[in-house]
Amino acid sequence: MKDLEQLVAELADDAATVKPAPHPYLLSLKWIGAGAVYLAVSLAVSGLRLDLAHALAQPWFIAEIVALLLVFVATSFSAGLLAFPDLHQKRSLAFAPAWMFVLFLLVILSAWHADNPPAPLPVHSFECTLSITLVSLLPAVWTFYAMRKFASTHYRWAGSIAVLSAFSVGALWLRLHEVNDSIVHVVEWHYLPMIAASILGLWLGKVLLKW
């Protein structure tokens, strides 16, 4: 009996203090704050587009930027919920980015329809996709790193949302940096790659978040 009591006492002494997991909303707010700072620093380094005042006078450009911001915020909150196995009993909010992305697509389609006559295409093409991808790498890394500390049971969807969130930061940066009014170019080299990246995130989630 004494040996058992001694064993229990030793186990109690050796037990490490477990730090409570942060609330998903707090986790998401940290990611949003980090993304905002990262975006501001990136724009400070690269510079804002020279015709920003003119661009901000275009309603569909403003709608596009707002929709991108909403996608970033929604995916950040969703990633915070998806990091936990029970989604904190907020399943509908965890999958809200799907509806937000539909809204974003409607804005882009409306801007495309309003682009008449079409704005001239820029002389470059895939360079935009490459630039967005490079800028998105750091937000993707810190999001996946943070999510690995928890126990997601929806790792494919979590990976897709994490990549979409990071890519939206890169897309915001380029739209605020590049002098370009061609919605055709933006769809082809900015937003179709965003969809492709989110599909790739399904595989990354399985590789990096499965436990």
Instruction: Say if residue 164's pLDDT is above 80.
Output: yes
Whether 138 is covered by a domain: the verdict is: yes
Angstrom distance (rounded) from CA 143 to CA 164: 11
Whether 146 is covered by a domain: the verdict is: yes
User: What does the radius of gyration of the chain's CA atoms come to, in whole angstroms?
Assistant: 21
Identify the pLDDT of residue 10.
58
Domain hosting residue 95, numbered range: 24-209
Identify the pLDDT of residue 60.
94
Q: What is the dihedral of CA 28, 34, 37, 41, to 10 degrees?
A: -140
Identify the pLDDT of residue 72.
96
Q: Token digits for 181?
A: 């009014």
- Taking residues 96-123, report their average pLDDT: 89
Whether 6 is covered by a domain: the verdict is: no
Instruction: Say if residue 18's pLDDT is above 70.
Output: no
Nearest to 49 by CA among 178, 180, 181: 178
Whether 66 is covered by a domain: the verdict is: yes
Whether 204 is covered by a domain: the verdict is: yes
Q: What is the sign of the dihedral through the CA atoms of 174, 180, 181 and 186?
A: negative
Residues 6+ apart with CB under 8 A from 50: 179
The Cβ of residue 150 has, within 10 Å, a number of other Cβ atoms equal to: 18
Whether 54 is covered by a domain: the verdict is: yes
- The region of weakest confidence among 54-63, 119-128, 187-196 is 119-128
- Chain centroid to Cα 132, Å, comes to 12
32 vs 87 pLDDT, higher one: 32
70 vs 150 pLDDT, higher one: 70
Q: What is the mean pLDDT of the chain?
A: 88
Whether 37 is covered by a domain: the verdict is: yes
57-90 confidence digits (pLDDT tens): 999 999 999 999 999 999 999 999 998 888 878 8
- Is the pTM of the predicted complex or chain greater than 0.85? yes
Number of domains in the chain: 1
